Structures are given as C-alpha cells and as structure tokens.
Structure 1
Amino acid sequence: MSSDRQWHGSRSKKILQDHPEIKQYFGNYPLSIVFIIALVILQWSLAWLVKDLSWWQIGLIALFLGQFVLHSLSVFIHEAAHNLVFKGKLGNAVTLFIIELGSLSFGKSLTYVGKHGKSHHRHLNDYEQDYEWWDKKQAHFRSSNAYLRWGESLLHLFPGGVVLADLIIANIAPAESRNIQSAFKSPSLNIALISTSIFLYTCAWYYISWQAALYLFWSLTLMVGNWGITFKGQSIAEHNIYRDGKTYSTYRWTNIPFFNTGYHDEHHTFANIPWIHLPKVKKIAPEYFTNDNPYSYSEIWWLWAKSTFKPVYFNRYTPESNNSLSFKPSSLKVGN
C-alpha cells in the first residue's frame, strides 16, 4: 500500500470521527442502472440518426458528441469497479454487460475493473504498481520526439487510430516491466463481453447502416485517444503536477453530465460511497476537502494539446515536471 493511499486512509478515519453521519452514505446505489440504460439508448439513437450521413460528418459528431456520451457511460464502469451499482460478482457482471451494450469496448471495461481497485487505489501514485501512470520509457520517448507526437495525434483522429498508434509505439519503445496487479477476471465474462461487442457492431452495420457502426467505433477510439477532451482532461486533473497533493477534485458543471466524477478527492477518501452522495460528503466536511483543481477538464486538455500532447505534462516523474510546471495557475491562461 502506497504512502498516498495511507494518507487517504488515515484522513478518512479522522473525518469519520468528526462527522460520523457520513457512514449513512456507504453502500451501493442500484438506481444507477437507470442512467446506464438511458445512456445506452442515447448512444444507439445517435447511431440511428447518423445512418445517412457522410463519413466526415460522422467523424465530427463522434468527436463533438459521441465521445462525451461514452465518457458519461464510463463513469459507471468506475462505479462497478467499486461494487457501487449492484452487489456481488453477478451484479457486477450484469452492470458491465449492460454498459457494454452502449460502449462496445470489446470487454475493456472488465480489464479496467480488474486493475482499478487492486492497482490504482491500493498503490496510488506508486509508479511501479499504479497502472494509471504512463509507462516511463514510452513517455520519455514521446517527449523527445515532437514529430512522432504529431503523427500519433493525427492518427488518433481516425477510427481505430489509437490502437494502431499504440502498437507502433510498443514495437519501437517496448514498455518497462512493472508490478501491475490485477484482480481475477472471469474468462467466460470476458468472452461474453467481447462477443457482445462484435455481435452489436455487426447488427449496427447490417440492420442500420455502415455509418452507424462507424459512429459507434469512432466515438470509442476518439474518447480513449489524445482527442478525448474531457476523458483525458479528467485524468490529468485528478492527478496533476501543478502543485503538491494526493488527488484533486474538480467542482464544475461537468459533474452533471459526468455524474459527479469531479469529486475525486472525496472518492479516494471514501471509495465505498456512490457518485450520487459524493457532493454531500463535501458539504458535510468542507474543511477537509479543499484540494480542488480550479480548472476545467477542457482547459487542462487544451494546454496539454498545445504542448503537442507531451507526456511530461501528464505525469510527475519526468525531469521537466520538476522544473517547469506548465499547469501552475500563473501560466494557465486559457478560456473555459
């Protein structure tokens, strides 16, 4: 267990001593499934609406709308990783299956669930064991090759480009060996999720149009790549380098479409409280939750994009992050 995780753990005990009423919010929130189903329906509705559009119009809709629907849906993958939707293995399997109906991620949600609690929470900010830290070797390689970053970012704009780019980078600069732990993944569930994605892409193509299948896949790959504006912006905002701290919260309007995902400090302190109650924790103990990020996801993403997506602005382990913190308040001068 990392020192940062211990910091959150000891602080949670102190907060509960001062505010024991927070305990009433412990546990899962089954009504999350209503929002999950609504997002799945929304994503398929958009796939239907784009069925007669040209490929470039589909790309624009995926970039400016589809990826944000999937970002909202991905919040509930995170909830499932902490058993905060339905309880138990069966409840989690049902949750992930319904999410897969909208995300069509080829089972990547299960991979996330397996690593998140076992690696990220338990070993918070420990490079060797926290999987959310980019690989150091690949980050240095990207940082020293601006043309490569431009090429990679352009490739990320195309459907599936992020997959191809990762394969190229992995071949040129293989990742370091790290002790990243993962909880047991059910092989049968993994096969079921992958099969579901393949089946649904086929159905979208055959029963709606190739444009519908393209929209669903393009939205997914845009979100997880360099052009995932709020998705990447959130990741940077939560574990930033512009000042000392463990984790950061973003108290912005984005907590509405992204289901309070900005209450990240609160979540790491009380990982057994579902998204719906996190603002209440902040309200009950405001004297503790002051480690807020004053900038929006899009602001931080834009600054990172202006650096030609240099990984130094994403992690704290690179030399430049100790000398030139580009996320300092004085240097962040971009609009909302």
Structure 2
Amino acid sequence: MPSSLVTTTVQPCDQIQPRQSVANPDSNAFFWSYTEEPHRTRRQAIIKAHPEVVTKLCGPEPLTKYVVFAVFALQLMCALLLRKTSILSLQFLITAYSIGATANQNLFLSIHEISHNLAFKAPLANRLFAVFANLPIGIPYSAAFRPYHLTHHKSLGVDGLDTDLPTSFEAFFLDSVLGKAFFCTFQILFYAIRPMVVYQLPLTQIHLFNIAAQVTFDYLIVQYAGASSLAYLIMSSFLAGSLHPCAGHFIAEHYVFEKPNKVAKNPSNLIPVPETFSYYGPLNLLTYNVGLHNEHHDFPAIPWTRLPVLHEIAKEFYADLPHHKSWTWVIWHFIWDREVGMWCRVKRKDGGRKVGGWKVDELGANEREGAISGVN
C-alpha cells in the first residue's frame, strides 16, 4: 500500500529495527524509547540558530477570539435552522457532517490553542474563553482538556502520563482491520474516556464552572430551540472525531508510519523513530494549523498564525522530517494497512510531569505558559 508520508527512506512500522534508544521486541509491542523526547532537543537547536524565533513569534494571537465567535455563531445558526428537522433526515445528517463536524473540530482546536494561553495574555481570561468556545460542542470538556493536554506536551510518550497514548488493552483488542475501523469511527469517545482511566483530575472550580455553563447552555437550547438543535451540536461533535477528514489529525500526529531519512542534513533530526508527524495540506486552514505538529511541539507558545513563519525561518530543521500528505489517506492507511496500527506509538517509562491549572485561584505566575515551552 502506498505511503501517506512524504519522505526519502521508508520502512513499514513493524520493520523498524531497534537501535540504541528504541526497542520493539515483537510486532505486538509499542516502541519503547530510552532517550529524551526529540522536541526539546530541536527547540534548543532552533533557538541557538535562530534566536529571533522566541522574541518575535511567541505570544497570544488576537485573531483567535474572532474566529471562535464566528464559528460559534455559525453553529448556533445551523442548530436553530434545524430545530424542526428530523435527526434521521438526509438534510440533518449532511449538515451535521459537512458543516457541523468541521465547525466543532475547529472549536476543539481553538480550545487546544487557548489551553496554551494563546488567545489572551491573562491565564484566567483564557480559561473562561475556553469554556465559551466549548458551548457549541454540547459536552463540557475544556477544563479537563487543558491539564491533560499540557501533560501530553511535557510528558510526550511517558506511559501513565501521556493520555494521548493508546493503552495496551486498546492495542490488543483493536489490532485488526475491524478494530482499527471501530477505533477511527468512535475515536472521540476513546479520547474522552481514556484520560480518566489513566489518571483522574481533581474536581476544581474551573471544572465546576465548565459543567455549570455547559448544562445551562444546553438547557436553553432545548428550551427555546428544541431537542433537535442540541442533537445537531452533539452529533457534530461526534462526527468531528469520527470518519471525517479533519479527524485524521488525531492519528496523523503521533502514530508511527515510517522511518525518517537516516542521513538527515541537520544532526538534531537524527532520531531513531519519529514520534511526531506534520501535515502541510489545505485542511490546516480549518484547523488552526494543527497539522504543523512538529512545529507546535517544538514551540507550543507560538500561536497558529505564526507556525508557518516558524517553519520557514527554521526550514533546515524540518525539511528532512517525514510528513503526511493527506489526513483522509492517513485514516484509510491506518485502517487497511496491517503493518500500521495501535501498537505503532513510541512510549517511554521515565520523565515528564503532570502540568496544568488545577484551581482558578492558582492562576497567575505559577500557571503562566513559558515563553519558550508553553507548558510550565
């Protein structure tokens, strides 16, 4: 099956041979790494080569709030227009898939941006705005997402901390074409439930506010528009994390499809197995440039509008890294290629730490995103 990556030297996932820092004793095992995650190393190299990156590119993006307002209004309008439409009608389903799922994926990723304090300078303003962006999604999750996501950055691949990693239970039972198809269809549920299984967050003020605001919004939608309007919003969220082109980013970002070029021009790119993959296609326009994922992990404090600038400034660091050409092809490749699957993730046993705002009254100096890492 053709590759979904642009790269020079390629090998299927289960043919990647162990090297000094990565071990994969059999095909039904994750790749275990015993080195530091690659983004910190590359970040330091880029700062040394291009010190202007941090000073010019890091910091909030004012445009984010206007995009959120526009998508919020779009979803509210669609929900109201469909208030008397059967949820099983073709009109309802097509609208939910084509417009609703795309819009709610955009809102998912706006919350991703906001979690790095990239909408406003004040941390509390970002927390509250994330709750607002959450409303058309129909289910409260923004308050819980932030600490889990920042821990994913600070603890990339660390077993028991990085909740983006599939568990061994998932990998064992879903290691088949049907299993992977099931995972791709319902992956939004896996990302919702898995973090709570790995470790639970304490229930804090911001979580309670998130829940209260969402329940109030949902009640008002049902009260003044009807159950079909709320069903549209929730179905949009489900489809956004299902077999939808934009949902391909969930798999594309960290599942190992192929090896990078062994002879990279830049020494910082000589890593045994790539842990992060970028995508430079047109769907980035709808998803806050989340496809520039190596760039994002290297500098989480750089907002979506400036990630392409980072890529151009430090292009010598990214040119040799394999990247995806299509998120739709990623989903297809992941499901049908028996050599790529749930086991194809890099894990490490040590390092990392839990990160995130746990109480509203703790927001401030201790919870500010670092100018470089964005995950203090």
Q: How big is each residue's C-alpha offset from its partner over 1:4-32, in whole Å with a ceiling of 9 and x where there is no partner?
A: 65421122121122112212111122331
Distance 2:188 2:128 in 1: 28
State the 1:61 CA deviation.
2.0
Contact 1:37 1:98 in 2 (8 A): no
Match of 1:221 among 227, 235, 238: 238
Pairing 1:114–2:130 present? no
Which TM-score applies when normalising by structure 2? 0.70
SS in 2 for 1:87: coil
State the 1:149 CA deviation.
7.0
State the 1:63 CA deviation.
2.2
Distance 1:177 1:186 in 2: 15
State the 1:261 CA deviation.
1.1
More helix by share: 1
Q: How big is each residue's C-alpha offset from its partner over 1:51-73, in whole Å with a ceiling of 9 and x where there is no partner?
A: 23222232332123211101111
Pairing 1:13–2:44 present? yes
SS in 1 for 2:316: coil
Distance 1:311 1:70 in 2: 32
Which structure has more relative contact order (CA 8 Å, sep 6+)? It is 2
Match of 2:119 among 73, 82, 85: 85
Distance 1:193 1:293 in 2: 36
Q: 1:85 to 1:236 in 2, by over 3 A?
A: same
Pairing 1:210–2:227 present? yes
Distance 1:271 1:150 in 2: 31
Pairing 1:255–2:284 present? yes
Superposition RMSD on alpha carbons, in Å? 3.2
Distance 1:191 1:55 in 2: 30
Distance 2:138 2:339 in 1: 28
Q: Tell me which residue corresponds to 2:254.
A: 239
Contact 2:180 2:341 in 1 (8 A): no
Distance 2:215 2:184 in 1: 26
State the 1:163 CA deviation.
5.5
Q: Tell me which residue corresponds to 1:316.
A: 344
Match of 2:73 among 36, 41, 61: 41
State the 1:49 CA deviation.
1.9
Which TM-score applies when normalising by structure 1? 0.77
Pairing 1:72–2:106 present? yes
State the 1:34 CA deviation.
0.9
Pairing 1:189–2:206 present? yes
State the 1:312 CA deviation.
5.8
State the 1:145 CA deviation.
9.4
Pairing 1:282–2:346 present? no
SS in 2 for 1:245: coil
Q: How big is each residue's C-alpha offset from its partner over 1:113-151, in whole Å with a ceiling of 9 and x where there is no partner?
A: 011112x111212333211011111221233694x7777
Name the % identity.
Answer: 25
Distance 1:121 1:230 in 2: 21
Contact 2:334 2:340 in 1 (8 A): no
> Match for 1:258: what amino acid?
T
State the 1:162 CA deviation.
6.8
Q: 1:15 to 1:152 in 2, by over 3 A?
A: closer
Contact 2:177 2:336 in 1 (8 A): no
State the 1:196 CA deviation.
2.0
SS in 2 for 1:288: helix
Distance 2:236 2:83 in 1: 15
Unaligned 5+ residue runs, structure 2? Answer: 1-32, 259-272, 347-376
